[in-house]
A and B are shown apart, each in its own frame.
Chain A
Amino acid sequence: MGDLQIGIGGAAGDGLDKAGDTLAKTASRLGLYVSAYNSYQSVIRGGHIWLRVRLGQEKVYSHGDHLNVLIALNQDSIERHAPEVVSGGVVMFNSDKLKCNIALREGVTQAPLPIGALTKPFGPMQPVMQNTVALGALLFLGGLEFDVIAEVLGETFAHKGKPVVDQNVNLARAGYDYAKANFKPLAVKWNFTRKRRPFLTGNEAFAISAVAAGCRFYSAYPMTPASAILHWMATHAERCGVVVKQGEDELAVANMAIGAGYAGVRSMCGTSGGGFALMTEAIGLAGMIEAPVVIVEVQRGGPSTGIPTKTEQADLNQVYGASQGDFPRVIIAPSDVADCYASTVEAFNLADKYQLPVILISDLLLSEHPETIEPDEMPAEVPIDRGALVTSWDTAKGRYKRYAFTKDGVSPRALPGTANTIHVAPSDDHDEEGVLISDIFTNTALRRKISEKRMKKMDTLMKDLPAPKLEGPSDAEVTLISWGSSRGVVHEAIALLAAAGVRANQLHFKYLLPFHAREAKEILSRAKRTICIEANATGQFARHLRAETGFSVSDHYLKYDGEPFEPLQIVDRVRAILAGRAHSLDVTQEEASEIAYHYVRVHLGEDLRPGRLEKAAGNGAGEQIWRIEIVNRDSGEKRGELRVGVETGSTHSWQAIA
């Protein structure tokens, strides 16, 4: 089965993202499945960019866990990522500027590209040209047919005119031909069906699904990693008939969306954790006045401003606890790009039917990584259920009661502009008609019944939500519990575990509130051993699971370094847990190198880099240390030694060679 994992590394501003798009689109049009991840930083230029693109003959569920090809556009990328290339793989780099002078794994070959000579015929050298040459070479190495990239480049550069298009096609061709003449292709076989499939990010799926579901109002304040929803909406607003409002802050954004929802349009707003914090009071308002609204919360690394361009699943406590008081809310965590599409349709229907806020909780990985999905996973026609709407009222039936106490908790809704249904929607607690029962009119009986009416909606809507299911062998020795974006990567890890003789199954949660406590408990009570896998430091979901079911998971795999889970990492951790090996929080060799990179960048400048590392006795540091040689980037000559604590990660000392 064809599976090719490619890494592209360079400096921000090198145009890597565009190169990645071109590659992904080309492969996608050949009929392959693609999943990509851009490990970018919040800087416009400079810094290290690390892009992962994985191609598969069959559906791929993550960006993978190793490299078959590395395209290195700066020296850092060679040093950091060349060791990840597995046997049979290739390290490709611009040999005019870069050297691959580090140890590679066995069976890995170098593919140096003389970029200057290759680009010379096509005009003055610009740094981005090397991307196109490298892509051309990669097509040959990866066994991909050339014609499609010409088509993709034609579309990408159409706005710059034919000369630029031709130049890029020629550059790619030069790379392809050079590789053909000088390198051996990788051992990968493809069947190019050339079936066209949508290739999109989670954020694009949220936006397109919203317009398909009839969203007519979208409000947002710019915040990574949710901004792409705003950008898509703004770009397509006119074509799709959506009013897109950038608010002055998330307070405005949420309250505007709720106002629009109250007035009868399907409305949505989007943000990340910090913005969501500002929205919380409004979410309680939506619960109280029973206004439908959909809120997309795209998590990034917290707390506070946190790691704005990195992924995490640590806002769960926040979405559960958002706003004071008890009120009904729905929380859905889509699991992949196609599920972002499906979940958004569901969210609008639930919001309308049950007149409450629905929170779609995503994360940077899910929202920003692009993935190939099947065309029928994003249908144009989606089910729309607007719930009980009163469009006319016969006063002979008596007074219209906006918050009528009903058995299922749902009170038929009348929109402003309707005759004979005039009422106030109050944030103070109120009776059936919307008249306040707060302050001087406080009425304990009415307060009890209105509260019960609102909360009853949670029981009623439960029947609309499919229960979680155990996937994989029922007699597995371990059950991996996941939620949100980690469904796919855990699924892949389970296949790898099976190949290694470990029988594992998966219990994945999408509907976080209301929670299928009974069903979850029943499944978990039969599990031999459970590991909850989530991208946060405190096991927020495991805690919620315990609160809802009384079930405590046996073990956790918590990741809070900002990078998404990879299949092999899960395999390794699961095997370690099953073998009873304690998990060490010590700084690994790779981590010591990264700590050294940071120190070098902050204090020593760009012409140095970490070299050899070794673990040594503490020597006064009170712990074992990593002794890290710091060398000249070009010559490799030693310039000093950095000492980093193995346990604490602290930079204890830097000693320059005089």
Chain B
Amino acid sequence: MDAYKYIGQPVVKVDGKEKVSGAALFTDDLEFGPDLLYAEVVEGPHAHAMINSINTSEALKVPEVLAVVTGKDFPYNFGLYMNDRYIFAQDRVRFFGEQIAAVIARTPQAAIKGAQLVKVNYTPLPKVLGPLEAIAEGAEILHPDLMNYVHVPWFFPKADSNIAHHRKIRKGEPDKGFEEADYILEDTYEVPRFSHCAIEYHAAVAKYDHSGRLTVWASSQSPNTQRNLFAKALAPLGIRHNDIRVIAPHVGGGFGSKAGVTMEIMAAAIAMKVQGHPVKMMWNREREFYNTYQRLGVVAKLKVGVKKDGTITALKHDLYWDAGAYVEYAANVVNAVGLSAIGPYNIKNVSIDSYCIYTNLPPGGPYRGFGYSEFLFGLESHMSRIAKHLGIDDVEIRRKNMIKEGDLTAYGAHMNPNGLSEAISKVAKEIEWGKKIKSKNPDLAIGKGFALFWKAPAMPPNASSSCFLKFNEDASINLLISGMDIGQGLLTVMAQIAAEILSVPTSKIRTENPDTDRNPYEWQTVASHVTWSCGNAVRNAAIDARDQIFALVARSKFLPADSLYLEDEKVRCRTKPDFELSLKEFIINGIQMDDGTYRGGPVLGRGIFMPEFSSTNADPDTSQGGHPNVHYTVGAAAVILEIDKQTGKMRILKVVEAIDVGKALNPSLVKGQIVGGLLQGISTVLYEEMKFDHRGKMLNPNFTDYKIPTALDIPLEIVPIIIEVAQPDGPFGARGMGEHPMIPVAPMIANAIDDALGLRIKSMPITAEKLCLEILKNNK
């Protein structure tokens, strides 16, 4: 048993008191004084149209309007992985509600009035609202400049098409694999778009002062990435990285929506046109739905061949993604799924084609799960259907094919150590798999569903983290990192890592959300990778500080450095039990020698982490050869679902989920992620549904018509199970798990419906209304 004092403990969140007291400040809570200006965007009323002219003269006559900016002011493109996006629309709009201009005024009311008076003349163009339509012969091309966009080397756009990227995997001999199969199941699964629904809107305030300094306060998962993209996009205006400072207050929910750069760049750009004034740009609930990233939709064609005993002989997975009008971030969702769409299985013969397709709908982008929820819906539905056909148990077919440590992934890299087998066993036991439950009420049907999941962080191979650790006189610590606490508890867990190594209690460690001037670099808080990556940087910084402490004590107290250790904020010596020296006695002001001189000085730890083994170099026709994913986090989940056959209404009687987190640095926070993530997953299956009309306009951009669950809509019983098979390169063995809880939910519920009613639903969502109609149609 490990003897950790802080690691593995349910430490209270370091920002908990701010949040329960109301003291926590979010971007819109900050005050900027009487000189603050407000910006309001002008939105295009077409899904696809050429912009002929923009007339701003009436808007400029509105009292208190200072300026109007349009795409002409910023003829620059930008993007995270592919520069296909514009600050304001240039010659055309590509989705309903796209920003064309902004009006800047002294009051929000004047800005809104001005925005209503901007006259835009359009010529509508044919539009494509679905991925298959967009790749059909003769489809309207959305981005004629596609081949000119700068992009990362692992993207492969197709000329004269709407395919912005095609990730292709070929492993083994898929054709031969299907020939060897005793049974082949082939079907199509559809998953529509979803919205993140963070309760806090996007918000950004920017000020370009008269010294040429651009400061941006933004609700963001990605302060450093924002600075980088602002600096690159706005470079023609004469601004450099060190002129830009991004400050990230608390974030009121992210889930991917506040990763990368979206509306914040408008605030940054506008500020440069009204030098000297802070400018605020606030989104509202409607725009949260139609003008931020949405989760991508997908049409997935899946073919799996198996032997009679359930052994998979081949898999072919073709995924057509509805990636929206701009795919600078979405294309990497498509890429990540292309690499991982075999699921957590050991399959020798594989063919995967994952297509990133432009459509005239809002830009797709990162959403908790990063495409894995979407492809697992089909794959894990398929596994249960195959089991049923063969007469094999659902759990057994998964156990037979599951990936093990050292097995090859679809792209030929070795699978990391993992506890998938343990997760399967524990979930099956807890849900009493195999034991049927029957309701006494004839209107109620009860079924059980099972699903496995896996997910790797999707990130560039050189995504890195760093940390500065500085001591104060009383041996308290300021831990400077740029990983964001977006509620998951990153700051707390980072404090626990430093606490463990330096024997300083977490209550004496202050770590706050970053300011890019003060805190060292972090790529972004995405991909469930910061506990692992930023955690390694913090560990390295703490070890660096500890080494400095030991070296100082060794040379000033004449003790062997390797005999020293830390305990309760003191340095102790294994070979000299009565020696002890409190950190606070020397950590800033050094140790005095017999001659009155001092040795030492402030102890400053420095730590960095970059996964130097990761590479995206691979054959583009097969994806073999690289190591694009650093590791996978795996798990299993199961549900007991009760269905009212008269209404289609479903109730979750029990849900069990086991995740191999490597090491639960803070089990209270891990369980929080599981319980919260499960409900977000359940919500996408049972309640949420975006409605678009024939014009591509979203019809229900509000919480009245787009439903997320309330406290009355939760499962009756939730059992989170933590599995700990250490990640060898993780801090104390930890790996990420923030996104994972929601990703097995959709297939698990679809499988439970099949178990209860013998009815297979192959498209999401599965609302009560939809299920009720299916029950009627199928006489169930």
A complexed with B: no
* Contacts from A to B (Cβ < 8 Å): none
* Contacts from B to A (Cβ < 8 Å): none
